[in-house]
Structures are given as C-alpha cells and as structure tokens.
C-alpha cells in the first residue's frame, strides 16, 4: 500500500473534521489505522515518524483528551475553538508526515538515477 496515499487520505479526514462535515471515529476511520492498527501499528507511517505506537507523540493525544475532558461525547468533532486548533494541529502533522514520505521517495528516485 502506498503510504503517501494513506497519509493524503488522513489529511482529507482531518479537513472534513475542521470543516465540520465529519467526525473522528478513531481507529475505525483513520486511514493508517485501517491497515496497520491490527498489526499493532507495525509499518504505520505515523508510528514510524514518531517512533511510538498508537499515535503517542502525535497531536492526536491532546485532541482525544480534550474531546473526553471538555466535551465527553461519543462523537468526536469540532465543538469549540480549541477543538478546531487541535484538529488543525493533527492535520498539519499528517501533512508533515506525508511530505516527509514524499521527500524520502524523491531521494530514493534520485539515488536510482545515479
């Protein structure tokens, strides 16, 4: 599976949340989790980037805690300005990981040419 495409899908998921057109279903609708969660995050681009499994070390943990502590609702979505900030942090992190993967792929392509 192309990890760049997986991360593109993650970026889109968070954009839907920011736009108030979607919600966060955690591992059920996270593009990387759909593939890697049941493998205990082995190979997950987020886990590889952070060096930690289950989104530890990513902006997901503050988002999740805020959702539980401030809103305590089953559906995790943008309810307040802080939610939007945290969702944007998560989307920006997904963009950072995607761009990192793109840079690595470009470097490998350049090395093959040599």
Q: Which domain holds residue 82?
A: 3-113
Q: What is the DSSP string of 23-36?
A: -B-GGGT-HHHHHH
Q: How confident is the model at residue 113 (pLDDT cuts 50, 70, 90)?
A: confident
Average pLDDT over residues 40-55: 95
Write out pLDDT tens, residues 12-23: 999 999 999 999
Per-residue confidence (pLDDT) for residue 69, from 0 to 100: 97
pLDDT band at 112 (very low <50, low <70, confident <90, very high): confident
Number of domains in the chain: 1
Give me the DSSP letters along 30-94: -HHHHHHGGGTTTT-HHHHHHSSSTTTTSTHHHHHHHIIIII--SSB---SHHHHHHHHHHHHHH
* Side-chain half-sphere exposure of 39, counting CA atoms within 13 A: 11
Judged on CB neighbours under 10 Å (0-12, 13-18, 19+), 35 is: middle
Those residues with Cβ within 8 angstroms of residue 58's Cβ, 6 or more apart along the chain or in another chain: 46, 50, 90, 93
Which tens digit of pLDDT belongs to each residue from 50-105?
999 999 999 999 999 999 999 999 899 999 999 999 999 999 999 999 999 999 99
The separation between the first and the last C-alpha atoms of the chain, rounded to the nearest angstrom, is 26
Q: Categorize the per-residue pLDDT at 110 as very low, low, confident or very high, splitting at 50, 70 and 90.
A: confident
Confidence (pTM): 0.92
């Amino acid at each position: 599976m192309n990890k760049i495409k997986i991360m593109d899908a993650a970026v889109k998921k968070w954009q839907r949340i920011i736009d108030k057109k979607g919600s966060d279903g955690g591992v059920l609708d996270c593009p990387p989790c759909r593939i890697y969660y049941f493998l205990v995050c082995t190979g997950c681009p987020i886990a590889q980037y952070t060096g930690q499994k289950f989104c530890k070390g990513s902006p997901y943990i503050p988002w999740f805690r805020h959702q539980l502590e401030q809103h305590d609702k089953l559906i995790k979505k943008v309810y307040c300005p802080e939610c939007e900030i945290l969702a944007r942090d998560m989307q920006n992190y997904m963009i950072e990981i995607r761009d990192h993967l793109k840079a690595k792929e470009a470097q490998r392509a350049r090395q093959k040419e040599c």
